[in-house]
Amino acid sequence: MQLDGRSIVITGAGSGIGRATALECAMHGARVALIDRANADAVAEEVRATGGTAVPCGADVTDNDAMHSAMARAHSELGHLDGVVTSAGIFGAHDMGPLAEISLDGFMEVVNVNLVGTFLALKYALPSIVDHGGGAAVTVASTGALRGNAMGPGYTASKGGVDALTRLAAVQYGPKGVRVNCVCPGGTDTPMTMGVFSSPEVVAAMKGKVPLGKAAQPEELASVIAFLLSDGASHVTGTRVVVDGGATIAG
């Protein structure tokens, strides 16, 4: 999984899977640009403390102009781009419940971050990756993209859209030397889940529903993402990798 000398831009890099991915990629020799609306500077310091190179790029992934500027800064500071990881995502407090009871604003709040944010990251990163001779992109969807999900209409629809957008990008950019794959996490213990997967009740429930008996840690997703960015996955594109402890196949 060596990434020596590669320049990788990561959205949602301020916490959770994005932060873990930044640290994992840096550990394997990559230089990273970190896009986050709040914590890019703090995670950049963490990366630098390990001896890595990190460029913080504060931006809201739903803001077209901000994303254009952030990607331009990443390209300028790192010299080129070899890869992009689109890990920015949210649950929405106003996107929970039956579809007919969800407001358009509640629905779009989640779709804008999860799906539009992924689109903008790919839109502005892929040309730079192509210009440097090719590379890899990894999107982050969810097992909610694969089956009915209780997380909400916006969340489920947006993650399904990320999965589909990944396949389209793989077809369009494969001939240009870019591999595009999607990681689908199941239950993952991140700040976004507010420690729900640490509660005794949830842990007990997961032992009956998840063959591996636990939630994932962000680092377990990060290692898969780093592999997909590396030459170890040189003939893998347009696919999804489910990282859910077996929950999906168990029903």
Residue 205: predicted pLDDT: 75
- Return the minimum-mean-pLDDT range out of 5-14, 58-67, 130-139, 149-158: 149-158
* pLDDT-based confidence at residue 42 (cuts at 50, 70, 90): very high
> What angle do the packed helices 16-27 and 218-229 form, to 10 degrees?
50
Active site residue 155: yes
CA atoms within 13 A on the CB side of 88: 34
- Global pTM reads 0.95
- Return the minimum-mean-pLDDT range out of 72-81, 95-104, 132-141, 157-166: 95-104
Looking at the predicted structure, is the pLDDT value of residue 111 above 80? yes
Q: Which amino acid, one-letter code, is at 202?
A: V
Kindly name the residue from 155, 157, 160, 173 that is annotated as catalytic: 155
Residue 147: predicted pLDDT: 82
Residues constituting the chain = 251
- 189-216, pLDDT tens digit by residue? 888 777 666 678 777 877 788 999 888 9
Residue 191: predicted pLDDT: 82
- 114-171, pLDDT tens digit by residue? 999 999 999 999 999 999 999 999 999 999 888 876 679 999 999 999 999 999 999 9
Give the tokens for residue 126: 């892929």
Report the run of H or E that residue 36 belongs to, with start and end. Answer: strand 31-36
Residue 92: predicted pLDDT: 86
Alpha carbon 155 to its chain's center: 14
Q: Strands 240-243 and 178-185, how do they pair?
A: parallel
What percent of the chain is predicted at pLDDT more than 70? 96
The domain spans of the chain are 7-243
Residue 124: predicted pLDDT: 98
98: three-class secondary structure by DSSP: coil
Looking at the predicted structure, is the pLDDT value of residue 36 above 70? yes
Alpha carbon 189 to its chain's center: 15
Give the span between the Cα atoms of 42 and 19, in whole angstroms. Answer: 10
123: three-class secondary structure by DSSP: helix
CATH topology of domain 7-243: Rossmann fold (3.40.50)
Give the span between the Cα atoms of 62 and 66, in whole angstroms. Answer: 8
Per-residue burial over 181-207, b if 16 or more Cβ lie within 10 Å, else e, is bbbbbbbbbbeeeeeebeeeebeeebe
